[in-house]
C-alpha cells in the first residue's frame, strides 16, 4: 500500500533533481556527457510506475511468465481481485531472507550454489528476457522451502532492447575471453563511442582495465570495480552515459555484492560465462541468424503487401496534380492558399517525396 503523501514528496524531490541536472548541463560539458537530465527523466518514469501499484502487479505478472520454467527462481502470484492503484495484494511468501546468512546456513543450504544462482538468474533475466528486477537488494530476496530464490517488490524494473542485450553479452564475453579488440569494436558498432576515435586506442584502454583484473585471484575479481574503471576510461573517449543501462549497472553491482556474501570465493566471470555463451550461441549463432533472416523475409513481405496501396495513393496524387495543371486558375488559387499556410506546402511535398522514394526503393 502506498504511504500517505508519498507522491507529493517524490514530485518535490524530482523537481529539485531536475533543476540541478539542467543547471549542471547548462554549465558543464561533463554533465552533458553524463546526460544528467535524461537520467533524471528515466528516474521519473520509474517513480511514476512505482506510484501505480497496478503497474507493479503487471511487472510481477510479466516476470512470472518469463521465469515459469526457471529452476532456481520464482515470484509471488498476484491476487488481481484485491489489487488497485494504491494496493497490491499477492501471495504470502514463506522463506528465509537472503540477508540472514546464519539462518540460511542453519538450513544446511548450499550457499555457494545460491550465490551462483543469484548471479546467473540476474544475467538470464537481463539477456534472455530484456526485463529484470532493478532493486535486488537483500531485503527483496528470500529462499523458499525448495531452495529457490523468491523476489518481491517489483516497483523498479529495467528493460533492455535487443541491441542493448547484444552489447551487454559481447562486452561480458570480451572480458571473459580477454578479446579487448572485439570489446572495443562493440562499443563503436553500438554508437557508444564517437567514430572519430581510434578503435585500437580504445581497445588499448580496455586492456589496461581487463588485464590487472584477470591476474588477480577469483575472490578479488570484481565486476563493480571493472564498471568503475570502465566509466573512468569512457570519459577520455567522449562516451556518453546510457541512461537505460544505469539500472543494469547498479543492480549488477548489488547482485555481485550479495553473491560474494554467500560465497566469498565466487568467481564472477566463471559464473557468468555459461549464461553469456548460451545467449551468444542462441542469438548470434546459426539459429539466431536463421531466425533473423526469417524476420527479415516477414518484414519484406509486409512491405510488399503495402505496395498496391502506395501505388494507388501515388496515382491519385498524380491525377490531382494533372487535373490542377489543366485548371490553371484553380491551381493558381490553390498555390496562393498554400503560400498563406506554408506548413501545408512543406508537409505536402515531404509526403509526396516519401511516397515516391518508397516506390523507387520497392522497384529496385
3-state secondary structure of 97: strand
In the numeric block, the cell 497490491 is attached to 88
Question: Strand (E) positions, the chain?
Answer: 73-74, 96-97, 131-133, 141-143, 149-151, 157-159
At 312, list the grid cell.
494507388
Closest CA to 141 of 91, 98, 105, 100: 98
135 is annotated as an active-site residue: yes
Catalytic residue among 72, 100, 135, 267: 135
Cα 19 off chain centre by: 26
In the sheet that holds 73-74, the strands lie side by side as 73-74, 149-151, 141-143, 96-97
Q: Please provide residue 329's backbone torsions phi and psi, each rounded to the nearest 5 degrees.
A: -65, -45
Task: Please state, in angstroms and as integers, the Cα–Cα distance from residue 49 to each residue in 19, 85, 89, following that order.
Answer: 22, 10, 16
Instruction: Give dist(CA 13, CA 46) in Å, integer.
Output: 14
Q: How many CB atoms lie within 10 A of CB 27?
A: 9
Residues acting as catalytic residues: 135
Amino acid at each position: 500500500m502506498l504511504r500517505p503523501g508519498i507522491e507529493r514528496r517524490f514530485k518535490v524531490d524530482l523537481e529539485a533533481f531536475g533543476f540541478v541536472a539542467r543547471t549542471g548541463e547548462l554549465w558543464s560539458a561533463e554533465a552533458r556527457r553524463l546526460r544528467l537530465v535524461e537520467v533524471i527523466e528515466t528516474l521519473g518514469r520509474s517513480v511514476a510506475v512505482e506510484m501505480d501499484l497496478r503497474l507493479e502487479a503487471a511487472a510481477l505478472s510479466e516476470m512470472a511468465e518469463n521465469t515459469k520454467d526457471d529452476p532456481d527462481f520464482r515470484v509471488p502470484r498476484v491476487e488481481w481481485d484485491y489489487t488497485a492503484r494504491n494496493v497490491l495484494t499477492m501471495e504470502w511468501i514463506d522463506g528465509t531472507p537472503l540477508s540472514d546468512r546464519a539462518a540460511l546456513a542453519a538450513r544446511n543450504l548450499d550457499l555457494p550454489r545460491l550465490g551462483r544462482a543469484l548471479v546467473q538468474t540476474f544475467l538470464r533475466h537481463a539477456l534472455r528476457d530484456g526485463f529484470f528486477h532493478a532493486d535486488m537488494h537483500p531485503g527483496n530476496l528470500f529462499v523458499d522451502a525448495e531452495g529457490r530464490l523468491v523476489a518481491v517488490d517489483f516497483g523498479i524494473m529495467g528493460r533492455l532492447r535487443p541491441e542493448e542485450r547484444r552489447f551487454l553479452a559481447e562486452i561480458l564475453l570480451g572480458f571473459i575471453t580477454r578479446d579487448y579488440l572485439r570489446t572495443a569494436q562493440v562499443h563503436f558498432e553500438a554508437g557508444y563511442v564517437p567514430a572519430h576515435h581510434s578503435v585500437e586506442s580504445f581497445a588499448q584502454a580496455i586492456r589496461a582495465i581487463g588485464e590487472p583484473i584477470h591476474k588477480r585471484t577469483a575472490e578479488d575479481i570484481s565486476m563493480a570495480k571493472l564498471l568503475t574503471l570502465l566509466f573512468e576510461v569512457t570519459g577520455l573517449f567522449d562516451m556518453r552515459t546510457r541512461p537505460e543501462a544505469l539500472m543494469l549497472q547498479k543492480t549488477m553491482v548489488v547482485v555481485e555484492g550479495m553473491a560474494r556474501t554467500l560465497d566469498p570465493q565466487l568467481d564472477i566471470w566463471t559464473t557468468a560465462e555459461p549464461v553469456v555463451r548460451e545467449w551468444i550461441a542462441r542469438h548470434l549463432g546459426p539459429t539466431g541468424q536463421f531466425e533473423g533472416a526469417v524476420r527479415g523475409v516477414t518484414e519484406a513481405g509486409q512491405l510488399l503487401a503495402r505496395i498496391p496501396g502506395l501505388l494507388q495513393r501515388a496515382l491519385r496524387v498524380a491525377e490531382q496534380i494533372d487535373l490542377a495543371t489543366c485548371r490553371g486558375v484553380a491551381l493558381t488559387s490553390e498555390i496562393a492558399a498554400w503560400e498563406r499556410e506554408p506548413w501545408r506546402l512543406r508537409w505536402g511535398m515531404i509526403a509526396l517525396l516519401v511516397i515516391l522514394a518508397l516506390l523507387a526503393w520497392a522497384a529496385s
